[in-house]
Structure 1
Amino acid sequence: MLSLIPNYSGSNYRAIIDNCPINRWPQDEINILDGNCSFCVDYLGCVEVSEPTNSQICCESFAKLYREFETGICHANPSVLWITGYELRVVEKKSKNLVLAQIMENVLFCATTTHNSDQLFYTCRDTYNDRWLCYLFVVKRNMSDRLCKAIGFAFRMCERRKIIREGLETNMTTKNNRSTG
């Protein structure tokens, strides 16, 4: 799609998004760039996982928590998931309280469960306690694929900024190390 790191300013990037044949939700990508992308979800909670990239372990954790949700042991929290190129935020719908916020650099893995298309999870590094957590959501109106794609796009934006930032830092150190004479 893009061969070089693009300039994300203005209409040039929006034109690239609109002309991409494989893009099914171009408005989501534009909204992520603008910081206005949100989805209505039911936040179930989080579970500590030992292998954050193993989707089977995450699916088993989700199944356990989802059974508790169905039997009434735990309750879903109707929330809004905000996605930007910098972070994921979950805000409670009624009280507008911030439930959780993670920077995109800590997000490792996002997927839907194999047996139910309205269940979504992502794993994220808890840097304070040095552990991996799997955050679990029930997505409304079968939008889990769309939500996964939006989180993936936000992660790519974060990685591109990181590459640019590290490239600039490398260039600055080489310029400072050169002697003038």
Structure 2
Amino acid sequence: MRTRIPRQQAQWPRAQAARGADDDAGLGPELAAVVAGARRRVVRDGDRQIDTAHLLHSLLESDPEVRAAFGEGPTVARLLGYLVQRSIGYGLRWQGAVEDAGGLPAVEGAAGFSPLAAGCVERARERAARRGGGAVRGTDLLAALVADPQARAAEVLRRAGVDPRDLTGEADRSPAG
């Protein structure tokens, strides 16, 4: 029996792989792992690009500081449940679409960043630099993901009953912050 390989994986050009590695530069090992997890999800689900919701999903799964920003209670479980539903059904309305960022051009090829996600990664780098350098932390990326109300991550949060604006302050108060 043959294993089903997503179309995008078979078509993923080497140049896109190199571009993905360049985009991950300066993130540090923890955030590079978050991006790698989001990239695997994109390829597995047959999406075109890593969007902000993919990054949020990967952050919630792997970063205890990010989970702590959501406080005690069922919020993280509800968000993860919603994100899984998105990847197996709800997200189908987003497949083939690009998470828009104004007039920025789309990144071509499988597993590149959407324009908005690329901007969030850059803002997370800037936030880390303002903090005094060092690697970008998950809370830096979380703050960048929730800053734009048009981002899919913000939409996911709102649909799960979380106000994205409340998370910026929580990310700033993280234990390592």
Q: Same fold (TM over 0.5)?
A: no
Greater RCO (Cα-Cα under 8 Å, separation 6 or more): 2
The structure carrying a bigger helix percent of its residues is 2
Larger radius of gyration: 1
